[in-house]
Structure 1
């Protein structure tokens, strides 16, 4: 397979947002946005609709001009440059292929727009089609291709210009689940083929972000709420928003009772003592409210450390697992356990537990009071996302 090394015009470059702000009609969409994407890194922007992630990507592309701040590609300040001078490749969710052009001509379109010499265009098109596994379909029209094949053509077109930066805006959202899984594998392979090209990947799908990205920037309200590797954000989130948006989580209101220098914390949940680890190695103040985060697959049935007692509210069979929802005095707790031969009955008494090292204590919102102790059954808020 033919590879390529970075941009044809520059050494490997990264992406840097330096205090970028964008407003639409006086409404802030990006607010003093700072982020660096290293050469060869896949950075996913993950967040709900309206969080600013697509605006950030379009700012790099040159389709949005910041009201303040600068955008850099490597050492180049590209804030004022038009899109065609930035050396980027971009793929959007609707493919944007020309229906009257064959695959090869769609891929060549950007090269012709850049006035690449005719003798080079054929080789560059062949290289891009080879990288995306579309060589045998060069003479087909878009209407003769599946959704996944059309997306490969869109990616090939972006790669043909040998971009210094690759921007992907929800590229898989129009595909069904099976095609999306296959394209994720293809994008991962392409990433390995392009070791110097930084990739900025916008998605609202946490599975895509965790599968493909080297790091994830979790966005809300035009700001980055958290940034780290998928493993860091999943195993040790630093905020309640991150915990709820990256993966599924039990989030339970607790009151801090004791702290230790090693990050260990004792908290109470509706009168029950819970041991956990403080997020980011912090030391919560005794008496303060906090949010206990534990992932459903780390919750087990039966007695053990950090045991909570309650009543089975719902049982969901999910093939290899059962999802058991238990109403405890501290709120509803979700446990994802290996498929049970005999699942507990709805209404039955149940115990759930989790290891102290699997529980993370997050700071409560600043305006939220500490949970009152003891609490009546179900009074303390508990959320299991997903």
Structure 2
């Protein structure tokens, strides 16, 4: 089944007079077979968007499509979707195989075919050996696999994942990320909408990331596009870690304090204020292209790297450098540098709070 998802101007609001907007005119398309992550902080509108696809909230305006079908007015059970939520929502009194069969029975699937579909879903998620157990007899990671198996058993064209790994510890989360990536390879026709506030999950799993904030879509692109060439300060700070430094723009260069730095000004007009974005791992220690001199304010050892915090022209610049045998001391004067092609210049207010259209 080839089904994408399309939000066409979807707004959701609560309150007696719909005065509390929680999703504001969302235009976004998830292509058939694509993994789209909705990434943003709490209250950004990402879970509301997913619930609008599931049919758990009703838009006050706009339409939701699954494939070519307008599903805005359809109840959840008629939308043909699978869904996995944060707390798994398994039935404690049912064995694993009966939990997985629940959606098939609700859809009135052919009873003779249900055991085979259940076995297929459990095999796909590595839970075939646990079919007779109850949820209380499973670990958190195993319960999550059962929840995914239940969602897959109905062979959905669309799979909705709402913070599915947030209840797991770090090691289990890493393992489940690998499992979800494997499942996606095995189910190339299933469109996945994945809600998370965790940038590592989004960067690892998603074909594209939609960045949400304040009920609006702020940015959308591949993980590489958003990481290397963010269009807004919010994207730069939320997708990966970034130095965001206020600068003045000249002809083919910018000024930070007394230092003139060569970067692509990207159409930002000369004489205006802007923000220079450069990732900490692209900032080197010592002289080089675009040298900045500053004072070491903090040094953190992180195993393979040292994170240096250096005060440059009143701004704290982060640099992640390979582990140093003798790191600089607090108060030392040091030089930092970065390559011109490793920096992105963001014009003041570009894209902030305005919302964007997908694509």
TM-score (norm 2): 0.95
Q: Is the 8 A contact 1:217 1:227 kept in 2?
A: yes
Q: CA deviation at 1:330?
A: 4.5
Rounded to whole Å, the distance in 1 between the matches of 2:165 and 2:117 is: 25
* Residues 1:48 and 2:41 aligned together: yes
Counterpart in the other structure of 2:253? 266
Rounded to whole Å, the distance in 2 between the matches of 1:144 and 1:297 is: 44
* Residues 1:341 and 2:334 aligned together: no
Q: CA deviation at 1:41?
A: 0.2
Counterpart in the other structure of 1:199? 192
Counterpart in the other structure of 2:293? 309
- Give the aligned length: 348
SS, match of residue 183 in structure 1 = helix
Deviations 1:174-198 (A, max 9, x none): 0000000000000000001111111
Deviations 1:58-114 (A, max 9, x none): 000000100000000111000000000000000001000011111111100111111
Counterpart in the other structure of 2:14? 24
* Residues 1:277 and 2:261 aligned together: no
SS, match of residue 250 in structure 2 = strand
Rounded to whole Å, the distance in 2 between the matches of 1:149 and 1:275 is: 52
**Structure 1: 5+ residue stretches without partners:** 1-5, 7-11, 259-264, 369-386
Counterpart in the other structure of 1:9? none
Rounded to whole Å, the distance in 1 between the matches of 2:92 and 2:257 is: 62
* Residues 1:241 and 2:225 aligned together: no
Q: CA deviation at 1:365?
A: 2.4
Counterpart in the other structure of 1:66? 59
Deviations 1:281-316 (A, max 9, x none): x41111110000000000000011111111111110
Q: CA deviation at 1:277?
A: 2.6
Rounded to whole Å, the distance in 1 between the matches of 2:185 and 2:209 is: 18
Of 106, 125, 146 in structure 2, the residue corresponding to residue 113 of structure 1 is 106
Counterpart in the other structure of 1:102? 95
Deviations 1:187-242 (A, max 9, x none): 00000111111100000000000000000000111111110000000001011110
Q: Is the 8 A contact 1:298 1:354 kept in 2?
A: yes
Q: Is the 8 A contact 1:253 1:330 kept in 2?
A: no
SS, match of residue 212 in structure 2 = strand
User: In terms of mean alpha carbon deviation, does 51-60 or 325-334 score higher?
Assistant: 325-334
Runs of at least 4 residues of structure 1 off by over 3 A? none
Counterpart in the other structure of 1:255? 248
Counterpart in the other structure of 1:352? 336
Q: CA deviation at 1:363?
A: 1.3
TM-score (norm 1): 0.89
Alignment of 1:312-331 (within 5 A): 312-331=296-315
Rounded to whole Å, the distance in 2 between the matches of 1:186 and 1:77 is: 32
User: In terms of mean alpha carbon deviation, does 20-29 or 208-217 score higher?
Assistant: 20-29
* Residues 1:133 and 2:126 aligned together: yes
Deviations 1:114-148 (A, max 9, x none): 11121111000001001101001111111111110
The CA RMSD over aligned residues, in Å, is 1.1
Rounded to whole Å, the distance in 2 between the matches of 1:327 and 1:135 is: 56
